[in-house]
Amino acid sequence: MKMMQVLVAGLLTCLLWGGHAYAMATYDYFSDAKITFSLLWGDFTTTVTPSSSGTGQHNESTASFQAFDLQNYWYYQSVRGTGSAGDAALSQSGTSAARNDFYTLFTFDFGSTPTDFTMTYTDYNQDVNSSTQLPWNGTGEYVGGSTGTQLLFDDQGGPWYTKGQPNTFHNLAGQHTVRLWTGTESTAIAQYPYVAPEPSPTLLLGLGLVGFAGIRRRIK
């Protein structure tokens, strides 16, 4: 029986909240990673921990995806968080938060024969998109967050963070692990009505002096 080349395991979409379609503070954060091994893993387990929350006028969702090729020994995973807060009329305040952590643990058993093992961070990307219509000073609109990915061999970091660079471990025996994490965390806040900051007294004085000088020139 021919070995299956590509197995795609489902798209997991969690905790979708309803909200206004024209919210003004929006975010779309994405993180993915692909790794390639020189040998097929013996086993792997995945843990996905999505969470989202919101108040007032809000909308948010998290999604996770994974795929792997059993013949060419590569594995891919991605996470995305999207959401929004507020509305186009600038009348409905709200908050929105979405977080997604995707962990995969690979177990390799090299037995008693010393074996060379190579793994490559084939590709990884972080994409952050957001928009606001008002500045933030405690009122207005705010969007912030982060994305990331991490690859660990036996739960220790190493030089393989460089994209496309093979990393070889020599004379391995027994069981060893590879851990991959991708994650996003994002927040949107809309607080209405927006209160513009008052000009400082120094700025007002400077504007007054400029105006007075202009009047004097016109009088002369």
Q: Which residue has the tokens 């929105």?
A: 96
Confirm whether pTM is higher than 0.95: no
* Structure-token pair, residue 22: 């024209």
Starting from the edge strand earliest in sequence, which strands make up the sheet with 115-131, in order? 6-14, 58-69, 74-85, 25-37, 115-131, 166-172
Specify the amino acid at residue 125: N
pLDDT over 50 (residue 216): no
Count of H helices and E strands in the chain? 1, 10
pLDDT, the chain, mean: 84
Find the range with the poorest average confidence among 118-127, 164-173, 209-218.
Answer: 209-218
Q: Do 143 and 25 contact (CB within 8 A), yes or no?
A: yes
Q: Give pLDDT tens digits for 16-75.
A: 333 334 568 999 999 999 999 999 999 999 999 999 999 999 999 999 999 999 999 999
Average pLDDT over residues 98-103: 97
Find the range with the poorest average confidence among 51-65, 156-170, 199-213.
Answer: 199-213
Q: Do 102 and 79 contact (CB within 8 A), yes or no?
A: yes
Phi, psi of 125 (to 5 degrees): -145, 145
How would you classify residue 40: left for phi > 0, otherwise alpha for psi between -120 and 50, otherwise beta? Answer: beta
**Within a 10 A sphere around the Cβ of 122, how many other Cβ atoms?**
16
Using CB atoms within 10 A of its CB, is residue 54 exposed (0-12), middle (13-18) or buried (19+)? Answer: buried
Tell me which residue of 127, 120, 195 sits closest to 163, measured CA to CA: 120
